[in-house]
Chains A and B, each alone.
Chain A
Amino acid sequence: GDSVTQMEGPVTLSEEAFLTINCTYTATGYPSLFWYVQYPGEGLQLLLKATKADDKGSNKGFEATYRKETTSFHLEKGSVQVSDSAVYFCALTPYGNNRLAFGKGNQVVVIP
């Protein structure tokens, strides 16, 4: 079935470091891909999305590119801030379907 895999474990890094969170997916056809962010005590917020191959989604300094050939949608940010500390979820909606499948999420902790 359609699924999303995120790298295991929390990510801890220093302020102004480069952030990468890996996301790979399994789906038939061309799914839509999303990154959601969950700040402590809050609901999930849509961070960015890409709906077709080679699209790049971007928002708040974060970027992710839809790579059909590697079935990936890795999240990157060039210089993180303490305020970026949150849980990040990769998700997909299969083509022709309205279900949303989430990865397990990655806790990101940015240290001053």
Chain B
Amino acid sequence: QKEVEQNSGPLSVPEGAIASLNCTYSDRGSQSFFWYRQYSGKSPELIMSIYSNGDKEDGRFTAQLNKASQYVSLLIRDSQPSDSATYLCAVATGGSYIPTFGRGTSLIVHP
């Protein structure tokens, strides 16, 4: 059974701070990793994809992947109240058509 674990939160950070969201996964064969943002009442939208070890930056977002330790994280710099949402981690394995989603971490950015 492939598992993706996320702390459900809520994670509360002040505006302007760095928010750090973590995700661990059980399948060592996992090759593709995704972070989605989901606002309340809306559908998940892709923020970042990462496929190799290390950091990948896109604007205020940085995804970090460590396959040896089986974790992937998302850093949000200069957090804004508009970043308040649930963040879903998804992991996919080559040869499988089904990604595994974590249950998400709720992030609250307070002014």
Is chain B a partner of chain A in the same complex? no
